[in-house]
Structure 1
Amino acid sequence: MSKKIILLADDDTDDTEMFCEALEEINENITCHCAENGSQAWKILNQINEKPQLIFLDLNMPVMNGWDCLKLVKQDSHYKDIPVIMISTSSHKNDIEMASKLGSICYLVKPNSFKDLKQLLLAITSNLGDGLRDALIKLKESGSKHIFMCTGNAD
């Protein structure tokens, strides 16, 4: 089985540890590169040999926030096809609309429980590639309060 590469940018160390621990329990073939802000995420993206299959960006981070990092990713021809999931503790409608406008595949409200996070990450990482959008739609349709789909274009 080939390694799956994920990039996570989140300045909350507790959330990052929980995220990485959940990924380790789900699949040992997932490599998660972690950054504390968008600037560090951009640097990692340009340093690693293989492009990640998925990027998670927290909205509010110091130095460079998730919005600015998302803009960089989507404006770069080398990275624009990598799906990006915006993550936050809030579900403000304006943030969800902005994530969609800037090209994010979906907006994820951080779950409070490890079990919920693990279930979400299992569904997401099991469907990296062409099946990702359908997997996210299924999660939403199954009643997930954490997933908000984005159209991925600037309407």
Structure 2
Amino acid sequence: MAKEILLIDDDAITNFLNQNLIEQKIKGIPISIFYNGLEGLKYIKNNPDKHYIVFLDINMPVMNGWEFIEAVDSLTVETNVEIHVLTSSINPGDRERANGLPNVDSFIEKPLDELAMESFMVAKLKKPL
């Protein structure tokens, strides 16, 4: 199954920096960028045959991260979506909420940096990219 990384965040600079860091650490997996959850959701619905690794912001216009997670969970088409919440939220309730959702694989505080990517890669050793 083909894999693809989706960066879903309404901040263009954040997406640019995250894309550059991920490309340095994870080779050979295409990266697509979306500026709200609805754009990302439409893309997944139109391309359900891939394994998606999603780095998802919580606070976005149109469709926020929580709404995206609910929408992915309720898709009638079978999908393979791995969600990593990537947020600047310091609200402990957000971390607790994310950790309580079965389709959220991790909660990462922004900015995505070398240390966060190393932790992500170590966790991925259990589930190969």
Coarse TM-score class (shorter-chain normalised): 0.7 to 0.9
Task: For CA contacts below 8 A with separation 6 or more, give which structure has more relative contact order.
Answer: 2
Q: 2:120 aligns with which of 102, 105, 124?
A: 124
Q: Give the Cα separation in 2 of the matches to 1:126 and 1:101.
A: 22
Residues 13-69 of structure 1, C-alpha deviations (whole Å, 9 max, x = no match): 111000111122223302111110000010111223642342111000000000000
1:88 aligns with 2:87: yes
Q: Give the Cα separation in 2 of the matches to 1:83 and 1:4.
A: 11
* 96 and 50 in structure 1: CA distance in 2 versus 1, 3 angstrom threshold: same
The structure whose residues are more often strand, as a share, is 2
The percent identity for this pair of structures is: 26
Q: Which contiguous aligned blocks of 4+ residues in structure 1 show a shift greater than 6 angstroms?
A: none
| Structure 1 alignment gaps of length 5 or more | 133-155
- Output the aligned Cα RMSD: 2.4
- Aligned residue pairs total 125
| Structure 2 alignment gaps of length 5 or more | none
TM-score by length of 1: 0.69
Instruction: Give the corresponding residue for 1:11.
Output: 10
Contact 2:4 2:30 in 1 (8 A): yes
Instruction: Give the corresponding residue for 1:97.
Output: 96
Contact 2:2 2:50 in 1 (8 A): no
1:29 aligns with 2:25: no
Alignment of 1:5-84 (within 5 A): 5-48=4-47, 50-76=49-75, 78-79=78-79, 81-84=80-83
Q: Give the Cα separation in 1 of the matches to 2:115 and 2:46.
A: 30
